[in-house]
Structure 1
Amino acid sequence: MILDDFVQIDEKGLYCKYGDFYLDPKLPAKTAVITHAHADHAVSGNHDVYCTRPTASVMQLRYDRTAAKVFNIVGFNESFTIGRVTITLISAGHMLGSAQVLMEYEDTRYLYTGDYKLQPDDTCEPIEWVTTDVLITESTFADPEVIHPDPVAEIQKISSIKTNILLGAYGLGKSQRLINLISTHAPQKKILVHHRIMPINAIYQKLGIVLGPHQIYGRKLMKVQDEFVYIVPPFTFDSYIRATGVTRLFASGWKNLQVNQRDTLFISDHVDWNDILETIARTQPKQIWTLHGDGRHLKAHFNNDIFVKLL
């Protein structure tokens, strides 16, 4: 039997009272299951954290001693129990170490996706599929009008840009994916990386991910027009608003983050409308619960075929 209150949102985030734990809490919690290391999902100060090795490594890099009191490192498809709930982490394909959380309680399965993507990505584990009774899905781009383009075709567009490029991207996950895509599909470009991104690259490489040729940024290099691509985090990108002699691009699935009217780079690490529909077909839920976005389009699409609840 599906329990309507299996997870509920309170001031700390998404809470499961049947196991007394939080999923990606927004504030420090006694027990947290964390799907991936992006800051909006992985805060510091939790006591007991359950997550994958890559997630713990990035949290320890970012938060040092306040990352967590205890890290419980869990591999994909290894089950463990918190309270009365059996939990299994399933690869989510969003970034290295990202996980979906399968929760089993009284013969009912609840799958929390965290952030996830279906597009191929050589810098992280591909998404895995499991069936579930309830799909608790992020709905960032749950809109029939949002269809993400092929990332290879997007990255190949920079081949026609002969100036140096200032490329804004989130430092964790997106930057590593871009290095790999550029080195594979636009190999004539020379990749420079902001110094704050390099320690994250080191974690990826230590965990066996081949990113591709890149080097730390040098001011003298960018003064030469040699098809350099300088990857920078958002705060640095915004500070270079008056930069001359470069083409400014921001790699994102959000239209409002595209800063160049002539050149765009739509590369998203989230599912689009078609991907969500494929996920529902693959996981075969009896109910769909949505969060992190707007689930109204899914509710209208499925009408009475599948019950859709907006958390």
Structure 2
Amino acid sequence: MILEDFIAFDANGLYCRYGNFYLDPQQPVEHAIISHAHGDHAVPGNHSIHCTAPTRDFMQLRYGKNAGKNFAIHAWHEYFDVGGVRIKFISAGHMLGSAQIVMEYKGVTYLYTGDYKLQANPTCQPIEWVHADVLITESTFANPQTLHPDPVAEIKKLDDIKTNILLGAYGLGKAQRLIRMINDFVPQKKVLVHFRISPLNAIYEKHGVNLGNYELYSRKLMKVQNEYVYIVPPFTFDSYYKATGVTRLFASGWKNLQVNEKDTLYISDHADWNDVLQTIEHVKPQQLWTLHGDGTHLKKHFAGKLITKSLS
């Protein structure tokens, strides 16, 4: 029997009372299961942390001694027990080390996706599928009006830009994907990276990911020719809003983060409407629980066919 209260939000985040643990807690807790290392999912200060090895490495780089007291590292498909709940990680395809969390309790399987994507990405493991009784899915872009374009066609837009490019991107996950895509699809462009992105690249390379060619940013280099793409984190991108002699782009699935109508770069690391529908088709859940977005469209779409509720 599906437990309707198997997980629910409290003051610290998404809590499983039956196993006494949190999924991606928003405040430090005693027992945390972390899907991936982005800051809105992996906060510092938890006591006991279950995650993948790359997630631990990213957290330790970003948070240092405050990353967490005890890390339990798990390989893909390795079962472990927390409070009587049987758990394993499968790949979410979102970024390096990102995991979906499969939870089995009293004969029922609950699948928490974390953030995930279906698009191909050579800098992380592809998404995996399992059947589950309950699918707990992020619904950031779960709107029929939101369909992500082909990322290869998007990155090839850089071919048409004849100035140097200041490319804003999240430093962890998106930046590494862009470096590899530029090397693969617009190789005449030369990639420069902000100094804060370089240590994150090193962790990717430690885990065997080949990002391709890139250099640490130097102002002198960008004065030599117009084939450079300088990848910077959001705070740097925003501070360079008056930059001259470059074309400013921000890589995101969000329309409001595109900096001008002429030059857009819609590359998202999240599932869009069709991706969520495809995920439901693969998982074949009896119930669909949504969070991190508006599940209204999914509830309407599956009315009378699938029990759907929002946890947000």
Aligned to 2:30: 30
> How far does residue 84 in structure 1 lie from its aligned partner after superposition?
1.2
Which AA in structure 1 matches 2:186?
A: A
- Aligned-pair CA distance for 1:222: 1.7
Deviation (angstroms), 1:63:
0.5
Number of the residue aligned with 2:62: 62
C-alpha separation in 2, matches of 1:89 and 1:22: 15
Q: Which amino acid aligns with 1:98?
A: S
2:266 aligned counterpart, secondary structure: coil
Any idea what SS the aligned residue of 1:178 has? helix
CA distance in structure 1 between the partners assigned to 2:88 and 2:56 by the alignment: 17
CA–CA separation in structure 2 for the residues paired with 1:261 and 1:270: 22
Residues in 2 aligned to 1:159 and 1:113: alpha-carbon distance in whole angstroms: 35
How far apart, in 2, do the equivalents of 1:176 and 1:104 lie? 34
Offset at residue 263 of structure 1 (A): 1.1
Separation in 1 of the partners of 2:23 and 2:165?
Answer: 38
1:216 and 1:261 map into 2 onto residues whose CA distance is 29
1:137-216 aligned within 5 A:
137-216=137-216
Partners of 2:283 and 2:23 lie apart in 1 by 20
Q: Does 1:20 align with 2:20?
A: yes
Pairing 1:88-127 to 2, within 5 Å after superposition? 88-127=88-127
Indicate the residue corresponding to 2:242 in structure 1.
242
If the length of structure 1 is used for normalisation, what is the TM-score?
Answer: 0.99
Give runs of ≥4 in structure 1 deviating > 2 Å. 223-226
Q: Which residue of 1 aligns with 2:134?
A: 134
Q: CA deviation at 1:261?
A: 1.7
Determine the structure 2 residue equivalent to 1:227: 227
Which residue is equivalent to 1:85?
A: 85
Aligned equivalents of 1:142, 1:75: Cα separation in 2: 30
Paired residue secondary structure (2:77): coil
Determine what percentage of the aligned residue pairs are the same residue: 66
> How far is 1:88 from its partner?
0.7
SS state of the match for residue 289, structure 2? Answer: strand
What amino acid is the match of 1:96? L
Q: CA deviation at 1:226?
A: 2.6
Separation in structure 2 between the aligned mates of residue 251 and residue 226 of structure 1, nearest angstrom = 20
**1:172-228 Cα shifts (integer Å, max 9, x gaps):** 000000000000000000000000000000000011000010000001112233310
Q: Which residue of 1 aligns with 2:291?
A: 291
Cα distance in 2 between the residues matched to 1:254 and 1:213: 28
Q: Partner letter of residue 15 of structure 1?
A: Y
User: Please, which runs of 5 or more residues in structure 2 have no aligned partner?
Assistant: none
Deviations 1:220-276 (A, max 9, x none): 112233310000000000000000000000000000000022111000000000000
1:266-294 deviation digits (Å, cap 9, x = unpaired): 00000000000000000000000000000
Give a deviation string over 1:25-71, Cα, whole Å, max 9, x none: 00000000000000000000000000000000000000011101000
Q: CA deviation at 1:304?
A: 1.1
Per-residue CA deviation, residues 96-127 of structure 1 (Å, 9 max, x unaligned), is 00000000000000000000000000000000
Aligned length, in residue pairs: 311
Residue 277 of structure 1: aligned partner: 277
Q: In structure 1, what is the equivalent of residue 46 of structure 2?
A: 46
Which secondary structure state, in structure 2, belongs to the residue aligned with residue 237 of structure 1? helix
Residue 73 of structure 2 aligns with which residue? Answer: 73
Distance 1:225 1:203 in 2: 30
Secondary structure in structure 1 of the residue aligned to 2:226: coil
**CA shift for structure 1 position 21:** 0.2
* Structure 2 CA distance for aligned equivalents of residues 39 and 76 of structure 1: 22
Q: For 2:175, what is the secondary structure of its paired residue?
A: helix
The alignment's TM-score, normalised by the length of structure 2, stands at: 0.99
